[in-house]
Structure 1
Amino acid sequence: GSMSLEDDLNDYVAEGVEAMVPYKGTVTDILKQLTGGVRSGLSYCGAHTIPQMQENAEFIKMSRAGFAESQPHDVSLM
């Protein structure tokens, strides 16, 4: 079946900023976020399963400049 725009927006998983937020939503919503994050990680490794991800994962050491650039910017952190 096809997903509606609303379903697609509800399944959005934010990446790049880690922050504490007040609990919001149902267990189903939280599980969708968690599974979406796992799926994203799998896709970065070109994997379809967790064992494939473990097999394909590659750790890359970042330079200090790269690390600084990867940090959140243009947002207010609490």
Structure 2
Amino acid sequence: MSIHSINGCIGCEECIKSCPTDVIRLDPKTKKAVIKYVADCQICHLCRLYCPVDAIIIAPEKTIPVIVSWG
């Protein structure tokens, strides 16, 4: 299973703009986002958080549990 899947992309480019490692690109043919450099993804969840249509899914085995600081 891949790190991400992008289904239902509307081509708004918010995920591309939010990605700090520049792994997401706009496919020139479909005008939709694609994960171009999967190995370089830091799984920061910014692409998923900024997507207005919840089109990005991060595979459960690749998610990092939220760590809460107590102090």
**TM-score per shorter chain, which class?**
under 0.3
Greater RCO structure (CA 8 Å; 6+ sep):
2
TM-score (norm 2): 0.23
Larger helix fraction of residues: 1
Kindly name which structure, 1 or 2, has the bigger radius of gyration based on alpha carbons.
1
Larger strand fraction of residues: 2
TM-score (norm 1): 0.22
